[in-house]
Structure 1
């Protein structure tokens, strides 16, 4: 009897799941009525007004009201969710906050379909793009595609990349009035914007030019290599059988292998290994004439552990008495405030406060984030059970001052400088993709007059950004999602006019020719400047 009940429940849940997937996919692909589309515009704007603490910082309320109202009036015929997403994003970009984004809904798949997809690969993920001098090119490529590095993209299917990027720039939001972020991020995340524009694709063709040769490169989703084990009764040559036969290790060899694996895991965690890209998030090298200049390349502040890496790095710099430190924050989109605070503690000899208390619109930002309509019901139930704890934490961290609410993240408290803090000359390399936490770090260094900045204006604003905690809201009809920051993150240092990034002391914009010639003009300038000062 119990078995039958379980079976009935299983079948019921399975059918309900299938029906839910079918219903969702119909919802996101059908043409929505004008009334439903206008309702979603209102719903998203209401969420922004309710939760975004600096909604009118860069665009006055009456102007933003007019833009949302104009969008509603312009919607006079049915459209699908993807078309609506593009029109809505073209308006929300005027909020002027790069962390605030609009994304189209995706199709859902059954368990069987997901399992089948997991058995495939799409080698287009091996490619990284950059956009310089109105040229989209492959700046990096992994595995068999390494021969494509620096190849210019002439067409994607039958469209020119310049036309596509102009279209994508219309929906890309940056912090304030900054413009360097647009083309930089459109190149760096080109495939993401392309997928948002076109929807999921399983094949794509590029027309490429490499030197004087023009050719077409096709990519399509294919099955991964068969990794099933060979059958015992396979008829194989003795030489091959010996290769595939499992080698029996001694106890000492097993122990050595275990120690080796543990050391590798520790190393990968310290340097932030990214398996899909076969590269590390954090690297320390020595460059320049006698390799005496330290080059600290940080691709992001979000991957694995970091304290051991920085402890080891600055211990090394102290022992070698390095004359200069170059911190490369180009294409660093940010990450943890705790990590940039830890790094900064090695770059100052004074106690410091990394950020100000963060302005918020609610006393319970964590709970608001958790209880969004995109949160799975199971997590909402857990959130409900934990709500007394979460509310207590929120209330403890939130204070009211001058009629405004402020949330205290840990980096808003005073911290001590490290005893091994670096006292030499510091250079920071920046570009339009230096964003979020990397811009906060740059602001702190600029405000303390601790570094010379080389490159181009950062995409992240000098005076702060709305981020830290997010609410992901899904519009009821189109299922388009809005990512809304709930806290204004800013360093104590401020500049006027508001709405721009960290302006470099020495502006250097790389060219496509630099990439072709394997030249790093920003790094070369720093090394020449150091030589001239000897």
Structure 2
């Protein structure tokens, strides 16, 4: 009897495995969906956003959003592939001006991309302005023409300003912030992925560039074809372990073969320079699972033991995560009590489209207990609107703090930076953050799956307002000392932001030493 059962179970398992394998093999990434299927998904996409997104009209008036929706629907007169339809939806989510509302491929298409040997754009770039782009690395090792720092002026006859402007229409950002979009294009292969889905990548790409003598040149550069033995872990503009995710997307999990200690150290570490009595803290995430509570405790204990006078906190590549972790770091540095938000609310507990929204029943139950309806018709999370956090007494840091920011500084990172901005011992150095200084729409962000194409989009459920006086501006946290990039820094591999902070610390340390000497002389 047992043997028969074992054989039966093995047979069922083999059939299931064969079925799954067959399903994977028969997946057609070039499949086109009929207009009626696309129209149904589009209508659902619009209805869910209009019903549930608490900030749909925060920066874009309703009549304008209605126009964007209507124009998008009118384009659905012919069949479309999944990437084409996703592109269309992305141009609409970008108009919401919410960095947490983004489109994602279906799970099957994402799985296919995991191992697909797609032709790749031949180099990676750094974008730092509406018409400023330079090469950071080439994928073809034999290509010695386009060196690091080479300024590119056109690609396949398209002016760089035109390309950058086009790409911004496919990328999400908070409010009126553009630095985040520039940084998204600069994150490893993101520019190349965008180029593929918008224009396609031919076998050879024509590049117009400025040579080392400052003269305009043109050349045909071969696209990069991955070797057959290499499996590419690329999820077209989504998260990978090899490049920074776009701000607002979930933090990617490290590969299984990477030791936990190594991945943790890559995301957060502390380096101490005893000569300058300074410490450099790298924080690339505030996500749960990064064991930040213990890391902060050990770090601030070590800094107190070594009498560190200058602390650099690098959050340039921190896309956010758990607000509890960012709040904890704030408590170690802030000199006064602080709140997370002036207001935090959702506009809906239930939904007519709950079966398409991830964990909707749990969301309804959770909001039933922690939110209450107020006169404005919204359901407010009163605890965070009223609660003040107190600074740490033990291991509190009172030295000079320099926070490095950039376009990837997003979400919970802005909660941290905003809470201590303006404090007498805190200086923010770098570029405008990708996350809004006024607040954001996030907190709980389920996936919504469209039933016909199975394309997914992220639906933030809570509007968090940190500073209502800044909402109309729709900007990020502005640095006290603005430091950007140019081709000179890229060509020489120079970190200009860290360079500025190092010089400040060096000069302050030298001045303090001289003053101590003068006091000793007296």
Shorter-chain TM range is 0.7 to 0.9
Matched residue of 1:285: which SS? strand
| 1:152 to 1:219, Cα distance in 2 relative to 1, 3 A | farther
User: Quick one: distance in 2 between partners of 1:220 and 1:155?
Assistant: 26
Higher percent of residues as helix: 1
Return the offset for 1:472: 1.4
Contact 1:447 1:493 in 2 (8 A): no
**Partners in 2 of 1:317 and 1:207 — Cα distance?**
52
Distance change in 2, residues 1:495/1:109 (3 Å)? closer
Change (3 A) 1:13 1:155: farther
User: Superposition pairs for residues 162-173 of structure 1, below 5 Å?
Assistant: 162=160, 165-173=164-172
Q: Distance in 1 between matches of 2:271 and 2:506?
A: 18
- Unmatched runs of 5 consecutive residues or more in structure 1: 226-263, 274-279
Give runs of aligned pairs for residues 308-327 of structure 1, distance below 5 A: 308-327=294-313
C-alpha distance after superposition, 1:230-285 (max 9, x if no partner): xxxxxxxxxxxxxxxxxxxxxxxxxxxxxxxxxx978547xx23xxxxxx112323
Aligned residues: 465
Shift of 1:330: 1.5
Confirm whether residue 292 of structure 1 aligns to residue 277 of structure 2: yes
Q: Is the 8 A contact 2:374 2:380 kept in 1?
A: yes
Task: Please tell me whether the aligned partners of residues 136 and 187 of structure 1 are also in contact (alpha carbons under 8 angstroms).
Answer: no
Q: CA RMSD in A?
A: 4.5
Measured in 1, the distance between the counterparts of 2:483 and 2:48 equals 40
Are the structure 2 counterparts of residues 57 and 108 from structure 1 closer, same or farther at C-alpha, using a change threshold of 3 Å? closer
Counterpart position of 1:76: 77
Match of 1:86 in 2: 87
CA separation of 1:356/1:319 partners in 2, compared to 1, >3 Å: closer, same or farther?
same
1:30 equivalent to 2:13? Answer no
1:145-179, Cα deviation, whole Å (9 max, x unpaired): 9xx99364969997879465443222112101111
Query: Is residue 48 from structure 1 mapped to residue 49 from structure 2 by the alignment?
Result: yes
Alpha-carbon distance in structure 2 between the residues aligned to 1:53 and 1:511: 38
1:407 alignment counterpart: 381
- The answer for the alignment partner of 2:349 in structure 1 is 363
Q: 1:483 aligns with which of 453, 458, 468?
A: 458
Partner SS for 1:94: helix
Distance apart, 1:357 and its partner CA: 5.3
State the Cα distance separating 1:447 from its structure 2 match. Answer: 6.1
Task: State yes or no: 1:342 paired with 2:318.
Answer: no
Give me the whole-angstrom Cα distance separating, in 2, the residues matched to 1:73 and 1:203: 30
Partners of 1:31 and 1:202 in 2: CA distance = 20
Aligned position for 2:62: 61
Deviation at 1:195, TM superposition (A): 6.7
Cα 1:425–1:343, aligned 2, differ >3 Å: closer, same or farther? Answer: same
Local SS of the residue matching 1:345 = helix
Q: Does 1:503 align with 2:499?
A: no
Aligned to 1:474: 449
- Partner Cα separation in structure 1 for residue 156 and residue 490 of structure 2: 26
1:509-520 mapped onto 2 (5 Å cutoff) = 509-520=484-495
Deviations 1:274-327 (A, max 9, x none): xxxxxx112323469x42232222222226211222112212222333332222
Partner of 2:369: 396
Alignment partners' CA distance in 1, 2:408 and 2:386: 25
Please list the CA deviations of residues 366-400 of structure 1 after superposition, one character each: whole Å capped at 9, or x if unmatched: xx99x76376xxxx7xx98xx5xx76544222222
The answer on whether the counterparts of 1:80 and 1:478 sit within 8 Å (CA) in structure 2 is no
Q: Please state whether the residue corresponding to 2:324 is helix, strand or coil.
A: helix
Are 1:522 and 2:497 an aligned pair? yes
Aligned counterpart, 2:100: 99
Aligned counterparts of 1:472 and 1:363: Cα–Cα separation in 2: 16
Range 92-101 or range 344-353, more displaced: 344-353
CA spacing shift, 1:12–1:159, aligned 2, 3 Å: farther
1:338/1:411 contact within 8 Å kept: no
The aligned residue for residue 437 of structure 1 is 412
Distance in 2 (CA, whole Å) between partners of 1:322 and 1:54 is 43
Q: Under a length normalisation based on structure 1, what TM-score does the superposition of the two structures give?
A: 0.72
Paired residue secondary structure (1:220): coil
State the partner residue of 2:435: 460
For residues 487-525 of structure 1, give each alpha carbon's deviation from its aligned partner in whole angstroms, at most 9, with x where no partner exists. Answer: 223435743633111112222212121122233322333
Measure, in 1, the Cα distance between the counterparts of 2:261 and 2:14. Answer: 47
**Could you say what secondary structure the match of 2:325 adopts?**
helix
Q: Distance in 1 between matches of 2:201 and 2:21?
A: 23
**Mean CA deviation greater in 423-432 or 94-103:** 423-432
How many Å apart are 1:224 and its aligned residue? 6.5
* Structure 2 segments unaligned to the other structure (5+ residues): 232-257, 512-522
Match 1:137 to one of 135, 141, 145: 135
Displacement of 1:463: 0.9
Contact 2:311-2:399 within 8 A present in 1 as well: yes
- Alpha-carbon separation, structure 1, partners of 2:142 and 2:281: 29
1:156-305 residue pairs with structure 2 within 5 A? 162=160, 165-188=164-187, 190-191=189-190, 194=193, 197-198=196-197, 218-223=224-229, 268=262, 272-273=264-265, 280-286=266-272, 290-302=275-287, 304-305=290-291
Query: Offset of 1:465 from its aligned partner?
Result: 0.9
> 2:333 aligns to what SS in structure 1?
coil
- More displaced 10-residue stretch of structure 1: 5-14 or 509-518: 5-14
Bigger Cα Rg: 1
Are 2:86 and 2:455, in contact at CA under 8 Å, matched by a contact in 1? yes
